Structure 1
Amino acid sequence: MIIVWGGQTSRSIRVVWVLEEMGLPYRVRQVDMLAAEQDPEFLAVNPADYIPAIQDGDVTMVESIAIMEYLMARYGPTPLAPAPDDPTFAAYQQFLHLGEAGLATLMMPVIVSRFIAPEAERENWGATWSLRSFQKRLKLVSQRLASSLYLAGDAFTAADISVTYALNLGQRNCGITLGDAEQAYLARTTGRDAYKRAIERSHEGVNS
């Protein structure tokens, strides 16, 4: 049984979504990243104290994109990951990693500045730069969606899981305004049954 350590609105949704798309058995363990004292059992899994993390038998992993790639390679093949000789493979790889390295990561200085930093430090240079950079890199997504239903092509892949999380994060916490094409894209990706199940499963154990 795969154990996913995560939170309700965290990057762990990427991992749970992949598990749902692939029909793999798993269990969610909630981690409260704002707790004054962290769960020692979780810290034994990831002493760096961030989510998501998984335990799959003797395998322990962190980093959402790496976990997604592990699951697809270990338990695939799956349509979520085009083969290297597939014409869509290059676009798939680019947007799979852009979703985190080029988009979601840039939102962290904005989020911690807006919600955690002292009032006088919230409108800082670093957060402003990160927000501008996100908006510039978002043009890559917009350009792709102008000619394609999904980011790798006409079929849904893990690249869409990666980027959907980043776009939702930008909208929800950073005031990012998406255009009609991006909104229609999110309606397609989040309308999937596996996404809806992933959201429900990501709330397991909350207030219990």
Structure 2
Amino acid sequence: MITVFGEGRGFRVVWLLEEMGLAYRLRPVDLLAGVDKDTEFLAINPAGFIPAIQDGDVTMVESIAIMEYLMARYGPTSLAPDPGDAAFPAYQQFLHLGEAGLAASIYFVVGARHFAPESERNNWSAGQALSVFESRLMLVTRQLTRSPHVAGDTFTAADISVTYALELAQVSGGVTFGDVERSYMARMRQREGYKRAMETCHTRKAWLAKAGIQ
């Protein structure tokens, strides 16, 4: 059985697994408490970040890479358009933009807002990271004015990637979205795969509920 270590970006992996109907178990990892004594997890990822998966003899980290592995290993799946599909370029772009352009940038904004000393919470680097996020968000907004999903008419793993980043920005990054983004996130939350993933990811469910998002 596939084991997913940690929530956070691990939610992307859990959501994908639910959409694909694959068996898995979620093994919690408490980063806030520190992982120094979590020897099982450190044996999987000695760098100490989440998510990670163990699938038989395969061990992987990095949420987007894990998603691509699972779809290639257990597909084919409509969550990953065929390279010959007209939706494939947009799918590839937004699958990776969801992390490289959005989540990775807002991560540093979240860190500054919630964990930095008071005098450092609006530092230059945090401002730059927010600027990067906002510029990449323009691409998402433009795409969603053209189609219901980021790769076109059909839900794909790129929507999982982007939705995670937008929720992180909304709840912890202090970002206010317009109607286009809010409508999109509301639609994504209505997916049965998303709902099942939320029932597994108790910490995330509580985090969103605290922010008034059900």
TM-score category (smaller protein): over 0.9
Matches within 5 A, 1:83-98: 83-98=82-97
Aligned to 1:26: 24
Asked whether 1:174 is paired with 2:183, we answer: no
Aligned to 1:145: 144
Rounded to whole Å, the distance in 1 between the matches of 2:4 and 2:26 is 5
Deviation per CA, 1:77-104: give whole Å up to 9, x if none. Answer: 0010000000000000000000000000
Gaps of 5+ in 1: none
Q: Provide the TM-score with structure 2 as the length reference.
A: 0.92
Of structures 1 and 2, the one scoring higher in RCO (CA 8 A, sep 6+) is: 1
Displacement after TM superposition at 1:111 (Å): 1.3
Rounded to whole Å, the distance in 1 between the matches of 2:132 and 2:6 is 27
Equivalent pairs, count: 203
Aligned to 2:189: 190
User: Could you say what secondary structure the match of 1:174 adopts?
Assistant: coil
Displacement after TM superposition at 1:38 (Å): 4.0
Aligned to 1:4: 4
Aligned to 2:72: 73
Maintained 8 Å contact 1:111/1:173: yes
Q: Which of structure 1's runs of 4+ aligned residues deviate more than 3 A?
A: none
Q: Which of 2, 12, 15 is residue 14 of structure 1 equivalent to?
A: 12
Q: Which amino acid aligns with 1:28?
A: L
Q: Could you say what the CA RMSD is over the residues aligned between the two structures, in angstroms? A: 1.3
Q: Provide the TM-score with structure 1 as the length reference.
A: 0.95
Rounded to whole Å, the distance in 2 between the matches of 1:79 and 1:132 is 33
Q: Which amino acid aligns with 1:118?
A: P
Maintained 8 Å contact 1:96/1:160: yes
Maintained 8 Å contact 1:107/1:134: yes
Deviation per CA, 1:37-93: give whole Å up to 9, x if none. Answer: 341100000000000000000000000000000000000000100000000000000
Rounded to whole Å, the distance in 2 between the matches of 1:23 and 1:62 is 21
The percentage of counterpart residues that share the same residue type is 63
Maintained 8 Å contact 1:32/1:38: no
Displacement after TM superposition at 1:153 (Å): 0.6
Displacement after TM superposition at 1:118 (Å): 1.3
Rounded to whole Å, the distance in 2 between the matches of 1:57 and 1:160 is 27
Displacement after TM superposition at 1:184 (Å): 0.8
